[in-house]
Structure 1
Amino acid sequence: MQVRVPHEWPDTPEEAVAIQLRLRSLVEQATPAGFEPRTVAGLDVAYEEGTNRVAAAVVVLDADSLEQVDSAVAVGHTDFPYVSGLFAFRELPSLLAALERLTVTPDLLVCDGQGVAHPRRFGLACHLGVLTGLPSMGVAKNSMGEFEPPAAERGAWTPLLDGEEVLGRALRSQSGVKPVFVSVGHRIDLDRACAEALRLCPRYRLPETTRRADRLCRDALA
């Protein structure tokens, strides 16, 4: 798949923030009519300790069986500084390179990170969705907002909040384990994003998409 990037990659945090503020109005928080994803892609990036070398991996799974149907890896370097809220600019160039190596265009992108649960409401999942035009969502390990712990059973959730604004949900993907934090990326609503997250977590806390992409990018750096 080919991706057109409508901006230059920034050199400074100030330039990166300006890009987020310009693109965030393009985010669509509604699910297209008839949306039934047959393939779901997990995306993750691994960093080589002590260097600026990174490996980005995309793993595409059949949405029903969770069998792998495609994968791709791109190894590169990142010079963008490590700044909270701007991780996308460290990871996006390599992630897009990996996406372009796929032979299957996935119906849904699942990011190991944030969507609208972000200081400027434009996290990695939003940026990827806007650039690719694909439905996307974030399933993060850590919260970017306030929340009350959800009930212990699988499927329980509480809102993830910034004041009174709902940014996403703290979702119990498995009974008795720490929640994950689901937020909209692009072209999906929060209810549907949570339903897809649960479908992708049949046994473990994290989605199978994330688990397999994490393994693939770590192996690429080994």
Structure 2
Amino acid sequence: MAYYRPPGPAPDPALVRSLTAQQHELRQRVRAEPLPHPPRLIAGCDSSFPTPDTILSVFVVLQFPSLEVVEKVYSYGPVPLPYVPGFLSFREAPNVIQAFAKLTHKPDVIMVDGHGIAHPRRMGIAAHLGVLLDMPTFGVAKNKLTGTFQEPAPEKGSLTPLLDAKTGELIGEVIRSKDKVLPLFVSPGHRCDQATATRLTLACLRGYKLPEPTRLADYWAEEFKKEVR
């Protein structure tokens, strides 16, 4: 997920308070649970910002476990909010939901490029989207947002827990997706548990650092940018 971080004045305190309250309300609705059945379709979701004021969101739906692409869609539009650190999901979610509405093949689970509950208020983009869509979601991120962890072994498939630095709560797992590359940070969003998020991430690796659903969503985000420029 390509984040645009524009320079500018500090965020409006009233806006920050409002967004914080909304995140706390959404957090109360998050459920951690295994999928009711093995997925037949898995989607990758990614967003990028072609300009400071626009967002492009992509879904790529794949068969599981073959990972053959079934469908890909995108939505492009204005960002609804200024950049506020820790609240990127409010900039992304409206456009992502519009992209999701275009799908004719609804997935059983969504892998989001970003965090699930591995967020200071447990409401990363994967958790946020999961609650709004009432869909099983989990996040696969390239960088840590919060928490503490021990570096996993250098071999592919090695993993260590990502823990809340204050409480010791498990908020994700740190996974080496390819030998000797920087690890990924995997956390459940909504209607998904950690074991499921980790298992699906590992099952979707095909020799690249990123699992296929988000790798392809990232690829098509770059391709679709050419259509909106």
- TM-score, normalisation: structure 2: 0.88
Q: CA-to-partner distance for each residue in 1:115-135, whole Å, 9 max, x for gaps?
A: 110011111111111111211
Which residue is 1:19 aligned to?
Answer: 22
Find the residue that maps to 1:44 and give its secondary structure: strand
Q: CA deviation at 1:79?
A: 3.6
Which residue is 1:31 aligned to?
Answer: 34
CA contact 2:49–2:55 (8 Å) conserved in 1: yes
Large movers: runs of 4+ above 6 Å: none
Which residue is 1:150 aligned to?
Answer: 152
- State the aligned residue count: 210
Q: CA-to-partner distance for each residue in 1:171-198, whole Å, 9 max, x for gaps?
A: 1111221110000101111111101001
Alpha-carbon distance in 1 for matches of 2:215, 2:44: 8
CA contact 1:75–1:220 (8 Å) conserved in 2: no
Q: CA-to-partner distance for each residue in 1:67-122, whole Å, 9 max, x for gaps?
A: 11111110101041222221101111110000000001100100100111001111
Match of 1:184 among 176, 185, 188: 188
Find the residue that maps to 1:26 and give its secondary structure: coil
- TM-score, normalisation: structure 1: 0.90
Alpha-carbon distance in 1 for matches of 2:22, 2:207: 38
Percent of aligned pairs with the same amino acid: 41
RMSD: 1.4
CA contact 2:19–2:87 (8 Å) conserved in 1: yes
Unaligned runs of 5+ in 2: 1-13
Alpha-carbon distance in 2 for matches of 1:166, 1:103: 35
Which residue is 2:6 aligned to?
Answer: none
Which residue is 1:90 aligned to?
Answer: 91
1:214 maps to a residue whose letter is: D
Larger CA deviation: 108-117 vs 200-209: 200-209
Alpha-carbon distance in 2 for matches of 1:182, 1:46: 20
Which residue is 1:159 aligned to?
Answer: 161
2:184 maps to a residue whose letter is: V
